Chain A
């Protein structure tokens, strides 16, 4: 059974069709890459997966359960975490507090108005753990807006990881990173591979082709090609569009 499965997803904005019967099934532990030119509908597809956009037709299943049309916070609570292409952090909070907000244990007591948020050792330890996983252990007290670009990208992922998700959706995680940063991210993702189901939109082909188990190519709102990196390199469409040149 697939961990996350989209079937016949159709999205229209006004009279513009953004996604047309998109299917996607990602097995547990699979790293699935999504690529395609700008404006192809990749981010909209992510927005459907994570509840920001309700599909006009089609369904989304998470571990067999229908989650179509649920609001973002419900879908997040069911175990889909996401990072954002345009970084969306709590800028005034420290790195640790950003991560803390993601912890399911913190979310569970979100309506607690009495105890001090900072009073719980176990929460602090969990947050520190998630920071250490992305190499930010020594920057826990730095405000998110004071972090370097690369560190902010890492924090984006740390927050999503803190959610202990069943599916991690990464929206262009390498965007804006230098080659060192991409390398650091690749190492991190390689560690996660197999333990977590990951769907990643990515433009960096080298990154995607070296890490992904399978890749879907979306163009004009449709899946035009799908397969393992090796299969895709042989794919006529990918070759013609020159997308696979790095592999």
Chain B
């Protein structure tokens, strides 16, 4: 949980039981995914988008800042990965760092303009900047390839000095992405539960109070946006590798909207895991429902509307509520049996 008490035992852990379970399940995916009619590439996509959505949720869920142009940073990361590979050096680590750096710089520039704002004006400004980056990516033919995209990006080998892994195969690449994802989860979990993360969560609840407690609200808002942009760009770099190309469409208003939808549907406002749940549902639904009908977005749109109306805390929120209800019922049952012991025993 993002909010609530710091004293819950998971908050101080580096790795929680939930993480271990999740990684374990994810590690088995290539073994069975083909048998249920899906394919390993979907797994890659889900992990990359989950990382992106988690990075995005740093801004939306943790900081409460409505950023509706986040696709820009994901896209910039993808382009930067490709351009670094073509023009600078074809080294995986350097190219991924370049992806994060480029998106982080873009995010920092935008943060300068928006960090004194909140609410709808914040949303508007992020949309405007998102559109600027999107237009630039489409129009800069010579750099980005325009609407055709930046093609022929390679999956560079993961070189650890002593060993080097070839990632061209989807299963190998899946495990690489999973490893990166696992590290990403640990980093983000740490970040959210660090003093920094708590200050961000406090600013979400009251900027005024936080300022009068001595926190430089502007600096925190600007830095969290920059961090989120950099991480989104990192995920974008992975996405460029997955797709073997970088396209402008991930930067469009629509795609930026999808990451908001996934995060909210999953329950990013109330849970750390919300974005992961949302991405899993969205991309699986796209493939499964999409196999039967072209209009799967129609159904997802309706589901999204229903969630906004009836379960604004998303799926993670609904699960948490159900679990609480369950434990409450268990408590009642235990309570009543205790009563029987106390009073029934005398009879």
The chain A residues found within 8 Å of chain B, CB to CB, are 50, 52, 71-74, 76-77, 81-82, 84, 88-94, 96-97, 100-102, 104, 106-107, 109-119, 124, 141, 143, 159, 163
Contacts and interface: CB of A to CB of B under 8 A. Distances in A.
Contact of B194 (A84, A91, A116): A116
Given A91-B205, A107-B214, A113 B197 contact: yes
B190 interface: yes
B99 to A, nearest CB: 20
A143 B4 contact: yes
A92 B11 contact: no
A73 B211 contact: yes
19 contacts: A73-B215, A81-B212, A82-B212, A92-B4, A97-B6, A97-B198, A101-B210, A102-B213, A107-B213, A110-B195, A111-B196, A111-B223, A113-B191, A113-B194, A113-B197, A115-B194, A117-B11, A117-B194, A119-B12
Given A82-B212, A88-B209, A104-B214, A117 B197 contact: yes
B327 interface: no
A117 B198 contact: yes
B198 A101 contact: yes
A29 B192 CA distance: 40
Nearest to A112: B195
Contacts of B220: 110
Interface string B1-21: 001111110011100000000
B194 A163 contact: no
For the complex of A and B, the 7 pairs showing the least CB-CB separation, nearest first, are A118-B6, A76-B214, A92-B3, A116-B12, A72-B211, A77-B214, A94-B5
Range, interface on chain B: 20 to 34
Contacts of A82: 212
A82 B212 CA distance: 7
Given A84-B209, A90-B205, A113 B3 contact: no
B193 interface: yes
Contacts of B3: 92-93
Given A71-B211, A90-B206, A100 B6 contact: yes
| Best-buried of B4, B198, B205, B213 by chain A (most CB within 10 Å) | B213
Contact of B7 (A77, A81, A104, A141): A141
B295 interface: no
A228 B176 CA distance: 74
B7 A159 contact: no
Contact of A106 (B195, B197, B223): B195
A101 B6 contact: no
A36 B295 CA distance: 65
B199 interface: yes
Contacts of A97: 5-6, 198
B54 interface: no
